[in-house]
Chain A
Amino acid sequence: MHSTTNIVIAGLGGQGIITASDILAEAAFRAGFDVKKSELHGMSQRGGSVTSDVRFGERVLSPMVPTGQADVLLVLEPSQVEINRPLMRADGVLLTTDVIPPDALKNKKSLNVAMLGALSSVLEIAETHWLAAVHAHLAEKLHRLNDEAFAIGRRASASMPG
């Protein structure tokens, strides 16, 4: 019964980690999975490290990704890669902002959504669920910007070697 997909999103306070994990959880929920998402608030809002766990599958128990079991580690800030690496499984996927071509984004604040675009190409969740989730979590005036950011990330990741 090992059908749970484990994703950890990491970065620093202010980068939109929580929003990104909310969108991922929502997309998986819309795709019909049982979903649990866990995060820590508080002191981390003052520029400190932030991580958020999203787990989905047929039935999810604990909301926290067990150490060494993240199928994907998505990191928005290079300094946070090494400290979170132990969370990944041996054959897990590490997604860093290197996948996004420099200067591709009109607004740097949409980096989190671009990274979700990159993530979307390695998960079995239909694009319509992703876009609906992005729209549900961001202000309407930002929809176009984020749709573009998502598409940039999705294309970039799909064309990644390996």
Chain B
Amino acid sequence: MTDSLTESRQLLSGDDAVALAALHAGTTLGVGYPGTPSTEILETFDRLGGRAQWSPNEKTALEVGIGVAFAGARSLVTMKHVGLNVAADPLFTATYTDVDGGLVIVSADDPGMASSQNEQDNRRYARAAGIPMLEPVDSQQAYDFTWLGFELSERWKIPVMLRLTTRVCHSLTPVQPRAPISPKAVNFRRDVPARVMIPAFAKPAHHRLRTKLAEIAAWNEAEGPMETEMGSQALGIISTGISAMHAREAAPEASHFTFGLTYPLPIARIREFAQQFERVLVVEEGDPVLVEELRAAGIPVEGKTERFRFGELDVARVHRIVTGDDSEEPAQPKGKPPELCPGCSHRNVFHALRELDCIVAGDIGCYTLGVLPPFSAMDTCVCMGASITTGLGLRHALPQEQARRVVSVIGDSTFVHSGLTGLAEMAYNPPETGHLVMILDNETTAMTGQQEHPGTGRSLNHERADRMDFEAVGRALGITHVELIDESAKNVDLKACIADCLARNETALMIVRQPCVLAAPKIRLYEKAADQQCAAAPAS
């Protein structure tokens, strides 16, 4: 892809289209945590000249975004679907507050789990948190809806969620941009009842939220983004997001209704469409969210059978839904599974853990591949940070000889994201046998494509930033034995070090450091550039 993204009509991924729209719409700050398929949004935003930063995790990112919007500026907060769980705490209250600047939160869902630990359907979050949701069908709409999200957000002083899915994020489709605007000048406006959510202020704020949603629903009915394509009177199909594209291809003879603001629903418009057909079918990927809601509203619609709840939809599967074919589907061809790269330092760690017959509580990242042969050295993996705390739980409950074999393994970016509090828990409530946490520090967020984090000492654009010192953090949190192992020093007996930690009844943190083999050449370049910049900067 070229860097001339601001030119006229061009071919863009959904992620890049969101980034371009954020730039054109005068976004003051883009903030998020890398997660497939959302990662490229902030990287592109930065490359185009926007101000972007990686946060330690999605909760902190959203809170920073809320602050930017409180200041009256536009902010874009990006994350993958499971990241929204981490950000759920601020999310549910952010909808109560009045944001002055536009706040658009991107949730990039991963139906089919191309690279995720679950396939949660974040349309549920829109309903649960009371946040308006926009769902684009392609990159053009990803661009247009980013603008629209800011406009709706500012008009009703409410955060807006842009829900993308893998096939929108990573598909290239043509985009025609519009004329850019500049960020607004901002000035702090005090508004305590709208921003301080103590019960006294939160109670009226909840009423305000429901009023806003009712107004937004009315706007959606009157002028929301929607498209009707009339065909046969026999079949009307209601669909949103990428499913709409599959549906139009799978059933070209049918009539189609697609709407972009998918919460709150344009119920009257849907009802009006549905009344015209003998058969009305809802085509939606993931959970039966829409079909349930329409039935609850008394609109008799047909949904898909349970088998289509799993995995992505495509034209063939939608064709089956349309024709009522619920027979067994052909098995997907099995490709070659991924593996730890040749030369990856994690390989030594998993060999050692395997040889010591450890019970390994694992985490989210490249090193999760330690679960596969030839290592087969991972026993649990739940969510970001769970390695440490799940490992502690195992230690608390298992008989001593087994408890002593439990090791928690976590990556550097994941440690910063959700490991810090786990380490505090370990120091505070240590199991009788103690515990061992290993940070596999490859000095990058390798899995999502080598992003920076607070432990790398460089910011999103790879310029110098303060670096979190994992050893000092371990000691400061009260871990009794802290050890940094440089894997490139060839004389390290990793197996002996692990065995030694397991033999003691104390809390131990081993940081095993060696740069990711894929990232190492780039890291050297970034470091060189950062040093030159420091040398060139005048002393302050």
- A36 x B114 contact (CB < 8 A): no
Asked whether A47 and B338 contact (CB < 8 A) given A29-B11, A29-B174, A62-B315, the answer is yes
List B227-256 residues whose CB lies under 8 Å from chain A.
Answer: 242, 245-246, 248-249, 252
The binding surface of chain B is classed by DSSP as loop
- A62 x B246 contact (CB < 8 A): yes
- B338 x A84 contact (CB < 8 A): no
Q: Which stretch from B89-97, B126-134, B328-336 is at the chain A interface?
A: B328-336
A42's nearest neighbour on chain B, judged by CB, is B115
Chain A residue numbers with a CB within 8 Å of B335 are 44, 48-49, 51, 80, 83
Report the Cα distance A6→B502, complex, angstroms: 56
- B245 x A1 contact (CB < 8 A): no
Report the Cα distance A36→B23, complex, angstroms: 23
B35's nearest neighbour on chain A, judged by CB, is A42
Q: Within the complex, what minimum Cβ distance (angstroms) separates A36 from chain B?
A: 5
Residues 1-39 of chain A: 1 if any B CB is under 8 Å from the residue's CB, otherwise 0?
100000000001100000000100110010000111111
- Chain A residues bordering chain B, tally (CB within 8 A): 38
List B366-380 residues whose CB lies under 8 Å from chain A.
Answer: 366, 369
Report the Cα distance A64→B312, complex, angstroms: 11
List B297-350 residues whose CB lies under 8 Å from chain A.
Answer: 314-316, 330, 333-341
Asked whether A40 and B245 contact (CB < 8 A) given A12-B336, A45-B338, the answer is no
B333's nearest neighbour on chain A, judged by CB, is A83
A19's nearest neighbour on chain B, judged by CB, is B1
Chain B residue numbers with a CB within 8 Å of A36 are 138, 171-173
- B171 x A46 contact (CB < 8 A): no
Chain A residue numbers with a CB within 8 Å of B449 are 41, 45
- A13 x B246 contact (CB < 8 A): no
For the complex, is B36 an interface residue (Cβ under 8 Å from A)? yes
- A43 x B114 contact (CB < 8 A): yes
Asked whether A47 and B246 contact (CB < 8 A) given A25-B11, A63-B167, the answer is no
Report the Cα distance A25→B170, complex, angstroms: 13
Report the Cα distance A63→B245, complex, angstroms: 8
Report the Cα distance A48→B338, complex, angstroms: 4
For the complex, is B30 an interface residue (Cβ under 8 Å from A)? no
| 8 A-B interface contacts by CB (under 8 A) | A22-B1, A38-B167, A40-B166, A41-B114, A44-B338, A48-B335, A64-B246, A136-B2
Residues of B within 8 A of A (CB): 1-2, 10-11, 36-37, 114-115, 138, 166-167, 170-174, 242, 245-246, 248-249, 252, 314-316, 330, 333-341, 366, 369, 447, 449
